[in-house]
Structures are given as structure tokens and as C-alpha cells.
Structure 1
């Protein structure tokens, strides 16, 4: 009986470790993608390395697909070459990874709080959702958005 309990605990431990490492792998993949694409402004390279060809976009202002991502950020960085993205935190839950980001269109702008949610399949980002909130000039409280 004792051996059975030890075996069950070992299998449970291995399953939990495997799940954890898969989530951490997904989180690392998304953070590597985000840093290269947006922080370092190397969106073309990042798209080729990390996005699936049929990358599904849920932002209603952007088309779907890897090429559409490249086109959007070609234009974005052309219009806003001094934009910055600062990753504040990230969370992983299974195949989903959320990134909380401070985005500034230029150094003088108060910026936006952004939450990007990515779905990972295998070793590629396959889906994306986002929520973007402008940082107000006169907030009603002293708490930051980060």
C-alpha cells in the first residue's frame, strides 16, 4: 500500500511539474516574441520566428494573419518611431499568456495600459486579444495603472 501511495504522489508531482514547465515555456515564448517585436522594434523578425502563418487576430482594427501583423507594425513604427513598450508583468494559464504593458506612443505622451493575451500552440503564437486603456491626465485616485 505504501508503494502505491508513493507511486501516485510521484505521478501527481510529475504531472504538475510538466504542466508548470509547459506554462513557463509558453510564457517565455510570448515574452521573447513581445520583446523582439515591440520592445526592440524588430516585428518582422519576431513574426517570422514566433507567429503561425494563420495567426488569428481578435483586435477589430487589425486583419488576421502573420503578414497582417507585419503590415500593421510596419505602419505603426513608421508613424511612431519613438514608441516604447515596457513589460510590467506576465501571467500564464495553460496555453494562454497575458502581458501587462506600459506603452507610450512617444516620450512626451502619458501612455496607455495594455493587456495582450496570446494563445500558444506548439512553439508558435496562434491567437491574440488585447485591451488598451489610455492613461488619463487627471486620474480620480493616486493608484497607478501598473
Structure 2
């Protein structure tokens, strides 16, 4: 009888753990999908400056940068500005972090070759596979640093 009770207890524990494991696996799948969406969007938008290719990834696209216009049209205008004024600009993603519906990029961005560029943290919130919101923090890379660490 003791073996039956022990096996029943193990079976009950596994049955209770299965939904939690499935939920974790689903979360990882969503995070992987969101990461792939943001990385492809970033390449098409910021590096290729191709709004038409980037637009299918956009949802409402609420812009939290106070210097940038809101919505997909705001992004379209910004990419047009980059294409015209900084055609050689390029952004290199150094790190990617995911947390549920959020994807966070740590980026080295150069507007013009030969300049020091900027360190950028871009934060995207996705909903149903579409980019709904964007925040960023931009920090110019200084000529001299008070420490020997890099910004990346």
C-alpha cells in the first residue's frame, strides 16, 4: 500500500507541475518570437531605413521619446530623415534582453563613419506579435572616460 501511495503522490506532483512547465515553455516561445520580431524590425528600419519593410511589425507604435513623433507615421518620417541626412548610419546590436512582452536592446549606433557614436538602450513592448510601444535612452560616447570600462 505504501508504494501505491508514494506513486500516487509522485503522479499528483507531476500533474501539478505540468501546467507550470507548459506555461514557462509558452513564455519562452513568446519571448523568442518577440526577440526575432524586434531584431528583424530593427534591421529593416534602422539599418536599411526601409519603412515599408518595417511597417508590418508595427502595432499602434506609441513613441515615448519626447523628441520623436508618435505612431507609424512618426517612424516613417524619422527613417526618411535618416535616409536623407545620414545615409551611412548603422546600428549594431550588442545585447538583447527579453522579459515577456518586452524586448530590450543595447545598441552601438553611428550616424556618420569616423564619429564616436552613441550607446542606446531601446525598449520595445509587443502585443500579439506587433510592436506597440517604444522607449529609448541615448548616451553619446565620450572622447575620454573616467574609467577603463567600455560602454558595451
Name the residue aligned to 1:21.
29
Alignment RMSD (CA, Å): 1.1
Partner residue, 1:8? 16
Return the offset for 1:132. Answer: 0.2
Residue by residue over 1:15-40, the C-alpha shift from the partner in whole angstroms, topping out at 9 and shown as x without a partner, is 11111111111111111111111123
TM-score between the two structures when normalised by the length of structure 2: 0.90
2:130 paired residue among 100, 124, 127: 124
**Unpaired segments ≥5 residues, structure 1:** none
1:67 Cα deviation from its structure 2 partner: 1.0
Deviations 1:54-106 (A, max 9, x none): 31000001111101110111012210011111011110111111011000111
Is the contact between residue 50 and residue 79 of structure 2 (CA under 8 Å) also seen in structure 1?
Answer: no
Structure 2 regions of 5+ residues with no counterpart?
1-8
Q: Does 1:111 align with 2:117?
A: yes
Q: 2:51 and 2:146 mapped to 1: Cα distance? A: 36
Superposed displacement of residue 41, structure 1: 2.5
* Rg comparison, structure with higher value: 2
In structure 1, how many angstroms separate the alpha carbons of the residues matched to 2:45 and 2:79?
Answer: 9
Work out the CA distance in 2 between the residues paired with 1:34 and 1:64.
Answer: 17
Looking at structure 2, the residues matched to 39 and 72 of structure 1 have their Cα atoms a distance apart, in angstroms, of 12
For residue 74 of structure 2, the aligned residue among 49, 60, 68 is 68
